[in-house]
Chains A and B, each alone.
Chain A
Amino acid sequence: DAKTTQPNSMESNEEEPVHLPCNHSTISGTDYIHWYRQLPSQGPEYVIHGLTSNVNNRMASLAIAEDRKSSTLILHRATLRDAAVYYCILPSGGTSYGKLTFGQGTILTVHP
């Protein structure tokens, strides 16, 4: 199963863009890239996912490298509410759906 590597922590200022990187050099051709976040004292919540093309939704954008060995979650204007642990995940289990195994993630701190 493919693994992901993320920085342990990152910091940002409020209202500035944040780029959260993720390396997944052993990704297979059918692996979707998933991003979740966990706010303090809450369960994880879905942020975004993609396969090859860049993706946008109301929460964030996902930029996927052409070789798919890395991706970047982009928060266009960070708010204090975006302070959370961000997880980049590739499903495992050999199916298109598979199970999601969470790593340590990136702790994002947002300064006012």
Chain B
Amino acid sequence: DAGVIQSPRHEVTEMGQEVTLRCKPISGHNSLFWYRQTMMRGLELLIYFNNNVPIDDSGMPEDRFSAKMPNASFSTLKIQPSEPRDSAVYFCASRIDVTPGSPLHFGNGTRLTVT
């Protein structure tokens, strides 16, 4: 099993540019989560999907952020326009909801730097 795959691993962009982060969950998993981690704010849940449907997006910071899950094997997190305060490590995680307590499996993250 390849695990959760995120791309790119690193992204450096200038303020005002559009950024798209990508995630491929583990095959067969039906829930997908996007997290953001900074030193100041720790690990924050941005949004999560179940069966490709957004269930809770209350953690999305503002309208500049959007997430999609067009099918069970792919999700994107887009920031447009990007700002320096968006610099963080963004993690994607997936889970198969068959029994309560099923574990989250995290990807290696995308380190975003906005200059």
**Which one of B31, B45, B91, B106 contacts A101 once the chains associate, using CB atoms below 8 Å?**
B45
1/0 per residue, CB under 8 A from B, across A1-34: the answer is 0000000000000000000000000000010101
A40 within 8 A of B: no
**Which one of B91, B97, B109 contacts A97 once the chains associate, using CB atoms below 8 Å?**
B97
**Which one of A43, A49, A93, A99 contacts B109 once the chains associate, using CB atoms below 8 Å?**
A43
A80 within 8 A of B: no
Given A43-B109, A93-B56: A100 and B101 interface contact (C-beta under 8 Å): no
Whole-angstrom CA separation of A87 from B42 in the bound complex: 11
Interface size on B, residues (CB 8 A): 24
Whole-angstrom CA separation of A36 from B48 in the bound complex: 18
Given A97-B31, A103-B42, A104-B42: A45 and B97 interface contact (C-beta under 8 Å): no
Whole-angstrom CA separation of A40 from B58 in the bound complex: 28
**Which one of A36, A45, A96, A100 contacts B100 once the chains associate, using CB atoms below 8 Å?**
A96
Which chain B positions have C-beta within 8 A of A104? 42
A100 touches B42 (CB 8 A): no
Which chain A positions have C-beta within 8 A of B44? 102
B104 within 8 A of A: yes
A99 touches B56 (CB 8 A): yes
Other contacts beyond A44-B43, A101-B45: 15, CB < 8 A: A32-B100, A32-B101, A34-B103, A38-B43, A42-B108, A46-B104, A49-B101, A51-B100, A93-B56, A97-B31, A97-B100, A99-B45, A100-B45, A102-B44, A102-B45
